[in-house]
Structure 1
Amino acid sequence: MYIHQVAAYLPAEVIDNAHFTRLNGLSHEWITERTGIRTRRKAAPDENTNTMAVEATRRVLAQAPDFPAASIDLIVAGTYTPHDTIYTVAHAVQRELDVSDIPVVSISSACSSLLNAVEIVEGYFALNKASRALVVVSEHNTAYNNDLDTVAGHLWGDGAAVLLISKERLAPTDLFVRDIRTGGAGNIGKANESVTLKPVERGIVMPYGKDVFIHACTYMTRVTQQILERNQLSVDDVTYLIPHQANLRITKNVIQQLGLPEDRAVSNIEELGNTGCAGAAIALASTWPELRPGNHIVVTVFGGGYSYGAMLLER
């Protein structure tokens, strides 16, 4: 299968680190040293997970005149910050497209939902139940976040991205999804309590960030190595590594373990903060114009609940 196009939507409001200095005394230097984050985006009062996803959908379709809405026969959406748990982000996108009687799926596997969504599409394609799909990832972290939380309140940003995926190649610029591998490690470490969002109790909290850091570095490195080995490729063959955009220190640790030059890692955490499962897709959208024939791109992710995965793409 092939990624035909990708587009992102980011809210206009920019929140800098000085905001948190005023609220809770965390300095710009303290935040950047530990996370790399300098700014993040915040959805406007009239925006939410669904509206951001719809805007990203409009943008991606505008970029792909040969992928009309009427041809889409599957929508898979991922988020852990839903605007509505019943009328989901996938339903909102379907309503925008005005396409009836197609499979519409919403999933949540924390920050790794992007790859789980792509893998679901792969399954539908394999069963001949669909041939053109939308993968939608959207996070409204600031709706659930407490800015006064000195442990994790400064980490989060909002944004959305949409991928157009087809069973057959539609254009020379399409990215071939050569391989995808996902897994769950919810049975290890503090996966059950390290990052939680329990809407009836409280918003996003991260009491055990060190445990997240350790396992994210371990699993993102390991699954990247596995997918390269499975496809007879080496680290030298990787043009770009697009990691989950959670913490710049995690990215640097992973590329150091892999032996990958720093300039091959794509990062938007500095400007956007942690945009959850949308982060890697937003990074792919920004990297898209730089891609050339023969390029190999690895997307590697890790999320709360300790779900993880890697996807190998080639132009």
Structure 2
Amino acid sequence: MLNEENGEVFQVISKATIIATGGAGQIYLRTSNPPGATGDGMAIASRSGVKLIDMEFVQFHPTAFALYGAPSFLITEALRGEGAILRNNKNKRFMPAYHPLGELAPRDEVSRAILREMNKSRGDYVFLDATNIKSSLLKERFPTAFSACLRFGLDITKDLIPVSPSAHFMIGGIETDIRGRTSVNGLFSSGEVACTGVHGANRLASNSLLEALVFGARAGVEAARYAKKVRPKPRNKYKKSDIKMEIEKNKSSSPLKSSTLTTISEDLKRIMWENVGIIRSGASMEKAIENIDRLLSAIKGYSLSRKGLELENMLTTARLITLSAIKRKESIGAHYREDFPEWSGKNKHIRI
């Protein structure tokens, strides 16, 4: 562990440990995730030899608010269910050209269609038009969307809403059984960092809350049960000097500046968005691996800090996602490859 106040490295010995660190949306240019969603748990688990599964499945929400300088909060899909339509920069409705269900198509289909329209216009967003819905109904049924947009000067009863797909949920993660157990004895995991398999290849809305509650409780019970029946290893088996040496191996006499770490982080976000995002290909992902490896080499001299450690974890998790996506030579659920646009017809997992 790292004490951020004084830079001290210290040990915490436990009989059982639960990893519940959340997702990894911050590795992408656009995300609905909070700042702490940097893939820490997945990276830590991988370095510790824990099995991860289906890391290639990253779900993108199709309509996140995309006004420059504003946070990427989600614009509920229920608006489209109520009749709101998507328009490109020429004010033309485009979803019927991509899917027979139009705006009611599955999330991955809508996200791909929006991205293609953005690429055509070289723009950063398309528009969600809810002006055909009665203003009284909008205010009554969608008070959150109405008030959130109004804070940034947009009245959704008469203004178009700029939206873009946004990295939203990690479907893959640390492989666990139904009791939260991982491939390492005494280590448990739950929440978005874990992969129980209940989401398949494409999570349904709100199921992650149920998963976190059910499997979080199970992991807690199982960890407590495990801790009761095992004896802790003697403290002297863990050499503090070895642990500190491992953590500090990247330190140098001239550590990287915080601004340099920020630049590298921004580079990673663009690399993942453009090459391992909503639409992927073997060529784009090989390019991503090459660039991620370059960035990993570039951070060898980072200072021992939260920012440096999180960046290393972001790069590690991005690499795991990309390697898994390269291995899955098909398109299914949240994973779409231009060079393999169809499902192979076989259900399989990618473990890494």
TM-score grouping bracket, smaller chain normalisation: under 0.3
What TM-score does the superposition give when structure 1 sets the normalisation length?
0.27
Higher strand proportion (structure 1 or 2): 1
Higher helix proportion (structure 1 or 2): 2
What TM-score does the superposition give when structure 2 sets the normalisation length?
0.25
